[in-house]
A and B are shown apart, each in its own frame.
Chain A
Amino acid sequence: MKRLIQYAAFGLLLFGAACTQEKKLPIYGDKEAKISKDANGNEKIDTVYKTIPNFKFLNQDSIEVTQDAFNNKIYVADFFFTSCTTICPIMHRNMRTIYDKYKGNPEVMFLSHTIDFKYDKPSVLKKYAKKLGVDVPQWQFLYGDKKEVYGLAEKDYLVAVQEDSAATDGYVHQGWLVLVDKHKRIRGAYDGTKPEEVEKLKSDMDILLAEKN
């Protein structure tokens, strides 16, 4: 009888452990099936997920930054501009709480793309980063021309951005904080203006960091 209870307890423990490991974030974007043949002629099907393509922009230190800077890191990306008085301050206030949580973590980075290609030159971004209190390599502020940045936003990060002279500050954009994994795949998007979504992002980042590969 005692034996039986011990086995039961062990079984339950295993079951519990399995349940907690099951949590996995979805992978967003279109996927394709790629069929390849190995040396013996056996067919193998791989799923190819959508990834963020490579880019080349100037950061707040006027240094060219490519996707290599984010290799083997998960990162949170957003689109903003420094003279934005509507949703950006609240987004970056919330993003800073995420930064505070993962400060110094070599596996986590932050990326803010400016959509104000006219005014937000690297020197302006530098001043902004300094004043926000996050002028560090872990948080990259990137400047690029309109076509590249807007294309990246809409086609790849799936964030709507637009120049609009009728809007309060001249641009309109969505306040998504996009979570990207180590394979450049989008694993989540969270409304950066809502504290409860930002909390969700933080717990999802922990799940993503625990993920093997």
Chain B
Amino acid sequence: MKSQKSKVKSISVKKIVVYTFFLAAVAIVINACQSASEIEMAKYLSNGKDIYVARCQNCHGANGEGLGELAPPLTDTVFLKANKQKIACYIKNGANEPMEIHGKTYQEKMPAFKDLHDIDIAQVMVYVTNSFGNQQGMYTYEQVAKDLQNCK
């Protein structure tokens, strides 16, 4: 740095370039620090999408549109938000209770996905609650573990 500085003293354009580079480097470092949680979120989203495609899409559709009255759509943000603590239980143990989604009652058996681990459930939940028009942010596997203890 020091030798560079002495060289650029006479030419101000070079100085500007150097400062710009320095500032850019600082900005990149700060940005990287900030997005550590974003990287985690991105990981959840991409793994969650894989699980969704393999296990959920059959019935709930590629765009979360559901299938007639046989499978409800996953686009009712209000429902998803209000029942967030129950969703892990629905996935792990299946569901058989009537649910009101977009003002319509759905009552059809949802199969249980016993083989999914807490982390899988958390990831697919993050994918669903941040896709199809939903935007509800992160949900960790610790929260899922807690929810699963309270299943009925």
Contacts and interface: CB of A to CB of B under 8 A. Distances in A.
A87 B67 CA distance: 13
A133 B58 contact: no
A131 B61 contact: no
Nearest to A169: B111
A89 B109 contact: no
Contact of A131 (B58, B68, B111): B68
A89 B67 contact: yes
A131 B107 CA distance: 10
A130 interface: yes
Contact of A128 (B57, B70, B111): B70
Residue from the set B61, B70, B108 with the largest chain A CB neighbour count within 10 Å? B70
Nearest to A91: B58
Contact of B111 (A85, A87, A96): A85
Interface residues of A, number: 16
Interface string A70-89: 00000000000001011101
Interface string B21-63: 0000000000000000000000000000000000001110100
Contacts of A89: 58-59, 67, 70-71
B24 to A, nearest CB: 45
Contact of A86 (B58, B67, B68, B108): B58
A90 to B, nearest CB: 5
B73 to A, nearest CB: 13
A132 B58 contact: no
Contact of B69 (A85, A92, A131, A168): A131
11 contacts: A85-B58, A90-B57, A93-B67, A96-B68, A128-B70, A130-B69, A131-B70, A132-B70, A133-B69, A134-B68, A168-B111
Interface of A: 83, 85-87, 89-90, 92-93, 96, 128, 130-134, 168
